[in-house]
Amino acid sequence: QVQLGESGGGLVQPGGSLRLSCAASGSISNVGVMGWYRQAPGKQRELVAFITDTGSTHYADSVKGRFTISRDNAKNTVYLQMDSLKPEDTAVYYCNADVQLPTRRGTFGYWGQGTQVTVSS
> In the chain, what is the greatest distance between 2 CA atoms, to the nearest angstrom?
49
pLDDT tier for residue 1 given thresholds of 50, 70 and 90: confident
What length is written for the chain?
121
Q: What is the pLDDT of residues 49-102, one digit of tens each?
A: 999 999 999 999 999 999 999 999 999 999 999 999 999 999 999 999 999 999
For residue 24, the surrounding DSSP H or E stretch is: strand 18-25
Amino acid at residue number 19 = R
CA dist 11 and 87 (Å) reads 11
CA dist 72 and 70 (Å) reads 7
